[in-house]
Amino acid sequence: MMQGKVLLVDDDELIRHSTEQWLSMAGFEVIMCETAEQVLPHLSKTFPGY
């Protein structure tokens, strides 16, 4: 069962991939990005930014 979607941002490749694996195993859909700039296209224009 899908738990939701996570935008994962980390510049450390090992941390990024291990966290992605953990979240995927917990049922989350994970979109991985290395920089904050890479995340921007995945955010809604109305994202409040918390």
pLDDT in tens, 2-48: 789 999 999 999 999 999 999 999 999 999 999 989 999 999 888 88
- Cβ neighbours for 1, distance < 8 A, ≥ 6 positions apart: 27
Q: For residue 32, what pLDDT is reported?
A: 97
- Taking CA atoms, 8 is separated from 25, 35, 39, 43, in Å, by 15, 10, 8, 12
pLDDT value of position 8: 96
pLDDT for 2 equals: 78
Residue 33's alpha-carbon distances to 1, 17, 26, in angstroms, are 24, 10, 19
